[in-house]
Amino acid sequence: MTRISILTLEEMNDEQRAVIEASVASGQPHGGPFWAYIRNPKLMQVVQESNKCLADSSLTPRESLITILTVARHWGAKYPWAVQVRNAAKVGLEAGVVDAINSRSALPTDDRRETLAHDIAKELLADHGLSDASYAAAEAAFSTDELVALIARIGSFSMTCCTANAFDITPPEDAPARLAD
């Protein structure tokens, strides 16, 4: 059960309502952790702009989703996991890749950048930094701009996961997958 009450349009102040209406009109997310963010409409706008900026990087959609799912798995974030598994299917991320992330197994891919995106996210979250060897491998595979986007994506999505966990945001009933225990 979600801990934070979900405001209806009638309960929102003018600024909150304007942000939600703009989110809906532009196709931006406005559920899940955004139920908390709308309490601070400026924060919600900044998070959405940040997400748009990160989506515009030259990381592939697959690399981005692998990173996001790895972060959700690390945090045990049920709502973000459920929603992002649906998005992963939209960008052609195979069920085997999603299942490997969920079970904390090696990715079944030969794509070096995808494997690195996964490994960098896991290492940064677990060790609070990157070894010299990992950084060198990432630097060899990604441009500096891509590496900055990858690291920022890990941090940004960690905030989403922490918000979802703190407020116990419940995954949608029709979610295609659940996190493994």
pLDDT digit string, tens, across residues 75-116 = 999 999 999 998 898 999 999 999 999 999 999 999 999 999
pLDDT beyond 80 at 1: no
What does the pLDDT read at residue 11? 94
Within the chain, which residue ranges are assigned CATH 1.20.1290.10? 61-166
pLDDT beyond 80 at 119: yes
How much is the pTM? 0.92
What does the pLDDT read at residue 128? 97
Please give the C-alpha separations between residue 50 and each of 57, 64, 152, in angstroms, as whole numbers.
Answer: 11, 14, 9
pLDDT beyond 70 at 4: yes
What does the pLDDT read at residue 176? 67
Both structure tokens of 177: 């997958």
What does the pLDDT read at residue 124? 98
What does the pLDDT read at residue 26? 87
> Residue 29 in contact with residue 86, Cβ under 8 Å?
no
pLDDT beyond 70 at 156: yes
CATH of 61-166, one of 3.40.50.300, 1.20.1290.10, 3.30.1380.10, 1.10.150.120: 1.20.1290.10
Range of weakest confidence among 5-19, 24-38, 93-107, 113-127? 24-38
The C-alpha atoms of residue 37 and residue 134 are separated, in whole angstroms, by: 34
Residue 156 has a CB neighbour count (10 Å cut-off) of 18
Buried residues in 18-49 as b, exposed as e (16+ CB within 10 A): ebbeebeeeebbbebbbbbbbeebeebbebbe
Both structure tokens of 179: 């996190």
What are residue 70's phi and psi, to 5 degrees? -65, -40
The C-alpha atoms of residue 40 and residue 98 are separated, in whole angstroms, by: 33
pLDDT in tens, 28-79: 888 889 899 999 999 999 999 998 898 889 999 999 999 999 999 999 999 9
